[in-house]
Amino acid sequence: MISESLIVNLLIILSAAWFLGYIFSRFGLPVMLGELMAGLILGPALLDVVHTSDQIELLADLGIFFVMFYAGMEMDPRLLFNHIRPALATALGGFVLPFVLGYFTSRMFDATVFQALFVGMGLSVTAIAVQAVILQNMRIHHSNVGHIIMGAAIADDIFSLVTLGVLLGLAQSGTVAPGAVLLLLAKVGLFFGFTIIVGEFIMPHLTRRLTDSGGKAFTFAMIVALVMAFLAEKAGLHLVIGAFLAGQFVRREIMDKRIYELLNDRFFSISYGFLTPIFFATLGFHLEFTWSGEFLALAGALTLAAVIGKVLGCGLGARLTGQDLTEAAVVGIGMNGRGAVELVIASVALQLSDKLLVSGSIAEPLLTSNQFSALVLMAFVTTVMTPILLKWAVVRSCSSTEGAAFCTLLEKGRDEVE
C-alpha cells in the first residue's frame, strides 16, 4: 500500500542518492558509492531519519531483479561459457580461502565452532548484483575479465547455497544428509540444463517475432524474467540468477535491433534510474553498531580477512587458469564486493538460532549480535572499496592488452556520462 510515509521516505532516499551520486561522479567515483553513502547518512548509523519498511525492501529487491536482467541482456552467454574454466577456479579460490580465514579469525575472538562456520560463510560470498552494477558502471562488463567475474559470481552463489544447506543440517541435527545435498545439486543441474535448452532452441524463434505494439515486448521480457526467477528459487538458487539468465534470452544477437534497444532503454531506466539507488541505500540502512573496542577489533579483523581471502583466492584461481598477473589482480579485486546475500545468510542463521535456543537444542547462538553487525560492516566496507580499487587496478593495467581494452571502455563510458 502506498502511504504518505512511504512517499516521503522514497523522496528523501532518491533525492539524497541522486545528489550524492552526482557529487561522487564529478570526482570520477562510481555513482553507487554516493547511493551507499546516502543510506549510511539517512539510516540508523548516522541521522536515523529514514527507516526501512516492507515496501522499501520490496523495491530494493526489485532493484536487484531488474539490474540483473539488464546485466544479462548486456552479456553474451557464449562468452560466459567460453570462460567457464577460469570462472570456476576463481569462484573456488574465492570461496575457500575467505571461508577458512573467516573461521580461524572468528575462533581467535572466542567464537564457537558453529559461529565461526557461519561467519566464514558470510566472508566467502560475492554479491552478484553488486558485481554487475560495478562492471556496468565502469563499462568493462564486455571484457574477458568481466565475463570471468560474472561467471565466478554465479558459481560462488552455488557454492554458498550448497554449503549453507550443509551447515543448516549440521546445526539442526548434528549430521549431514547426503541425500538432501545430492537432491539440491540435481535441482541446480536441471535448472541450468533447462536454461540451455530454452535459450538455444526456443527463445531465438520467439524473440525474432517480437513487436512493441502496446509495450508487449516489455511484458514478454517481464514474463520470461519472472518465470526464470521462479524456477531459480525452486532449484534453491537466488532469484537474481534466474533474472540474469532471463536477460540473456532477449539479448541483442537473437532479436530485432530496434526492439532490443527499446527494451534495453526501459530496463536501464527502471533499474538504474529508480530501483538500484533504493537497493544501495538500503544496504546503508543495515549498518547499525556500537562503537566498543571489542566490536571494532572483531569487525576490523573480519574485514581484513574478507578482503585478503577474496582478492588472493580469486586472483590465484584466475592466475592458475592462464590469466596474467594484471588480469588476475583485476579479477581478485572485482570479486571482493559483497551486498545483500551474506546478510540473508546471516539472517537465516539468526532465525534458526532463535528457534534452536528456544527448543534447547543448542546452548550458544549460531551468531551473536556483534558477529552479525561485524558482517554487515564488512559487507558495507567491501562494497565501497571494490569500485575504487577496481578502477585503480584497471587504470594501472593500461600497458597490457587487456588493460588497454579496459581503458578504451572506461574512456567511452566517461564520454557517455559527460
On whether residue 30 sits in a domain, the answer given is no
288 backbone φψ class: left, alpha, beta (φ>0; ψ -120 to 50) = beta
Given this model, what pLDDT does residue 405 score? 62
71-110: string of b/e by CB count within 10 Å (b at 16+)? bbbbbebebbeebeebbbbbbbbbbbbbbbbbbebbeebe
**Closest by Cα among 269, 347, 367, 267 to 57:** 347
Q: What is the DSSP string of 49-91?
A: -----HHHHHHHHHHHHHHHHHHHHHS-HHHHHHTHHHHHHHH
Cell 532490443 maps to which residue? 260
77 backbone φψ class: left, alpha, beta (φ>0; ψ -120 to 50) = alpha
On whether residue 43 sits in a domain, the answer given is no
Nearest-10 Cα torsion for 77, 334, 166, 99: 150
CATH code where residue 199 lies: 1.20.1530.20
Given this model, what pLDDT does residue 302 score? 96
Contact 334, 390 (CB under 8 A): yes
Spatial separation of the C-alpha atoms in residues 216 and 209, rounded to whole Å: 12
Angle between helices 144-173 and 178-197 (to 10 degrees): 150
CA angle 12, 14, 20 (to 5 degrees): 100
Element (H, E) at 288: none
Given this model, what pLDDT does residue 291 score? 74
Cell triple for 411:
574512456
On whether residue 34 sits in a domain, the answer given is no
Given this model, what pLDDT does residue 410 score? 58
Q: What residues have CB less than 8 Å from 308, skipping those under 6 apart? A: 101
Given this model, what pLDDT does residue 417 score? 46
Cβ burial, residue 17 (10 Å; 0-12/13-18/19+): buried
Cell triple for 72:
544479462
Q: Average pLDDT for consecutive 10-residue bins of the chain (418 residues)?
A: 89 96 83 87 89 90 87 75 89 95 96 92 82 76 83 85 78 71 83 86 81 80 92 81 84 75 90 90 76 89 96 95 88 82 70 81 84 86 86 71 60 53
Domain count, the chain: 1
293-318: string of b/e by CB count within 10 Å (b at 16+)? eebeebbebbbebbbebbbbbbbbbb
Query: E strands, 203-346, where?
Result: none
Query: E strands, 102-183, where?
Result: none
Spatial separation of the C-alpha atoms in residues 406 and 411, rounded to whole Å: 9
Print the domain residue range for 357.
Answer: 56-417
On whether residue 139 sits in a domain, the answer given is yes
Given this model, what pLDDT does residue 146 score? 85
Given this model, what pLDDT does residue 384 score? 84
What is the rounded end-to-end Cα distance, in angstroms, of the chain? 38
Cell triple for 311:
582478492
319 backbone φψ class: left, alpha, beta (φ>0; ψ -120 to 50) = alpha
pTM: 0.77
Given this model, what pLDDT does residue 411 score? 60
Cell 574512456 maps to which residue? 411
